[in-house]
Structure 1
Amino acid sequence: MDVFVSVIVPVFNAHRTLDSCLQSILACDYPRDRFEVIVVDHCSTDDSAQIAGRYPVTVTKKIGGTISSVRNHGASLAQGTVLGFIDSDCIVASDWIREVVKVLQLPDAGAAGSGYLVPERYTWVEKAWLYERGGGIFQTGLVPGGNCALKAEVFHAIGGFDERLTTGEDSDICRRVIGAGYKVIGSGAIRCVHLGNSKTLRQFARKEFWYGIDMVKDLRVTSFDGTFIMTAVFLLSFAFFAVALLLTLATGAQSLLLYSPLAMLAVSAVCSVYRVRRSRKYRYYFHLVVLYFLYFSSRSCAVVSSVLRSLRTA
């Protein structure tokens, strides 16, 4: 008998994408009596709840809380031995459920998923930034929260998504899955198109600032990670640049002024090398250097903003 799967879709003001999302999930080539869809409305002010009500899905509401609490609320109602999480601005392939179940049947697998695919009409920002990793199965440290699945027993054993986190909940839960002795498995066959990518540099900067707000909090409840370390190096380089600029204005000496911009550029260049090696989008290398410079600038501003806010609160 096929494994019973619960697909949980958190929703907030998803009028433009929810129809496509639910239609793609319900069209999966998996026995219809062996999966359920749970839509969790996070206090939408548009007609998202009404749209979901047109489909053979369970619709529930979660008032307040973080995206983690919304996903956990859906999981608390789920009957499946596999919990799938799809964001409302995503469209899954017809074999999505079947591929997720296949991967989670591998030895020691606790979570499965893959990076997002770009839509048919895309901008260079989303094409360069998204991994779109194809190919077979690989062990990884992260699958995005909007395109992932976990064994229900593993999910509940580790306490689900951390509701203290506003962002970074997907990397956090993957670390805890691995810490509990299970594997996080990626697969190019778990295909999911993300419609909500940042399409312009401005959107990209704003989104990365938002993602960076909880980086310090994430460190308190988990551990150091590469993203924070590189952000810290970039931030220290920027601080050094500010000091060097003040010294230049005060003394006229310009010898120190060159090094910090080079350090910031080096961080962006090194991360771009790492990313193109994984995504194999070599022709987008210099695009990625620009994006990473903006990425670390936004994340640095978010970290500073978060620390200052914590100090004011204290």
Structure 2
Amino acid sequence: MKTAINNVSLMQHYPSIDFVIIGVNSAKTLKRCIESIRQCDYPPEKIRVIYADGGSTDHSVQIAGSIENVTVLELHPLHPTPGIGRNAGWRSGTSPFVQFLDSDTILDQQWPQLAIRAMNDPQTGAVRGYRREMHPEQSFYNWLGDLEWNTRPGECDSFGGDVLIRRTALEQSGGYDEELVGGEDPELSWRITQDGWKILMLDALMTRHDLAMLKTSQYLRRSYRSGYGFAAVQSRVGPTGSSFWKNEQRRILIKGGGFILFFMLCLPAAVLLNAIQTTLFCLVSLSAGTVLLLFPRLFKVRKFMTEHHLDRENAKKYAWHCSLVVLPQLFGIMRFYVGRFFNKPLQNKRNKLQTGLSTPTP
């Protein structure tokens, strides 16, 4: 009994947290996200739930508004971005800590307590945990998401859309870049670490997520946008001399760009050489491009088995993904630089944004 009383007393001294959820057309997933916050193992009086809606045309606003003690911010940007919603959310609150969530996530009940305890170190500016996919068995792409969301526990250099951040760190950094349509979380991470804060990855579940990526077209679109994000973020941090995401962008340009260059060399060969010469030249050129594209990822199967605890078959699948994903990412990088030249950045359209489910609701 005495232990239970002491635990209650400790809980009462926990700081308040602003839980900021962002979404656009998130009616399918929003309610369960909000309910997971209300059910977490944290003093209810210390929980502030804020839903920042980016201009939904479905019933997202009504769903959030029907739940008690949820503050709804109706935003109507012409081109919504995650940064617009997250900034509006945290700036409308006053709690010393802000937990950001995407509307297609479910918060783990124990996470707020664990994250707040990790914030005892005054130099810690942000804390993240594992994001696990709810239905990795539904598609290869869901499985990839489950594999790639997370990093090793300990101090790290970036976080994703689900993270607990100290309000002081947000105020000092200025918050999210509202123009970015990809890479906004790592970009803020970089600025927070530049201000002297630490980012911690805890060995604990933070959220469960439903990527709901069931089609190849979704995967290609997401990879394209990730390439765009690499370029957009590097364009911001590169002038400072930082190498943040520099190697990732360089790898995409060398492997993806090299493959396409070798492929394109076949076109003038067909005009300048005879049939036999053209065939030989194209075989050599395409072989060189293919080796550049696939090396060394396809030779790291054993490493992937060890690092990600995969069997050989799944490690091979992951190696193929790592090799081929650079192609749509390359086009995303090209889109960024072409858009910057013509002052036509990639922009979100509200009617194209929505959260889905990997499995139909009963």
TM-score normalised per structure 1? 0.90
Classify the secondary structure of the residue corresponding to 2:254: helix
**Who wins on radius of gyration, i.e. which is larger?**
2
Residue among 275, 280, 291 paired with 1:262: 291
Q: C-alpha deviations, 1:180-226, integer Å up to 9, x for none?
A: 11111111314211112423333211111123334333222113413
Superposed displacement of residue 113, structure 1 = 0.9
Superposed displacement of residue 130, structure 1 = 2.3
Question: Within the alignment, does 1:95 sit opposite 2:110 as a pair?
Answer: yes
Superposed displacement of residue 158, structure 1 = 0.8
Question: Within the alignment, does 1:229 sit opposite 2:250 as a pair?
Answer: yes
CA contact (8 A) 1:128 1:287 kept: no
CA contact (8 A) 1:118 1:130 kept: yes
CA contact (8 A) 1:112 1:187 kept: yes
Which deviates the most, 276-285 or 86-95? 276-285
Classify the secondary structure of the residue corresponding to 2:187: helix
Report the CA distance shift for 1:105/1:75 in structure 2 as closer, same or farther (over 3 A). same
2:48 aligned residue: 36
Question: Within the alignment, does 1:280 sit opposite 2:280 as a pair?
Answer: no
Residue among 60, 65, 83 paired with 1:53: 65
Which deviates the most, 148-157 or 117-126? 117-126
Which deviates the most, 39-48 or 196-205? 196-205
Letter aligned with residue 24 of structure 1: S
Tell me the matched-pair count.
Answer: 313
Query: Aligned partners of 1:309 and 1:170: how far apart in 2?
Result: 21
1:239 aligned residue: 260
CA contact (8 A) 2:142 2:211 kept: no
Letter aligned with residue 221 of structure 2: R
Letter aligned with residue 337 of structure 2: V
1:142 aligned residue: 158
Structure 2: 5+ residue stretches without partners: 1-12, 345-362
1:124 aligned residue: 140
How do 1:180-195 residues align onto structure 2 when only pairs under 5 Å count?
Answer: 180-195=195-210
Letter aligned with residue 22 of structure 1: I
Query: Aligned partners of 1:239 and 1:72: how far apart in 2?
Result: 40
CA contact (8 A) 1:237 1:261 kept: no
Classify the secondary structure of the residue corresponding to 1:167: coil
TM-score normalised per structure 2? 0.79
CA contact (8 A) 2:255 2:326 kept: yes
Classify the secondary structure of the residue corresponding to 2:334: helix
Report the CA distance shift for 1:67/1:272 in structure 2 as closer, same or farther (over 3 A). farther
Report the CA distance shift for 1:215/1:61 in structure 2 as closer, same or farther (over 3 A). same
CA contact (8 A) 2:130 2:150 kept: no
CA contact (8 A) 1:35 1:80 kept: no
Superposed displacement of residue 297, structure 1 = 1.1
Classify the secondary structure of the residue corresponding to 2:200: strand
CA contact (8 A) 1:234 1:300 kept: no
Query: Aligned partners of 1:234 and 1:179: how far apart in 2?
Result: 30
Superposed displacement of residue 107, structure 1 = 5.2
Query: Aligned partners of 1:135 and 1:214: how far apart in 2?
Result: 19
Query: Aligned partners of 1:106 and 1:43: how far apart in 2?
Result: 38
What do you get for the CA RMSD once the two structures are aligned?
Answer: 2.5
Superposed displacement of residue 278, structure 1 = 4.3
2:29 aligned residue: 17
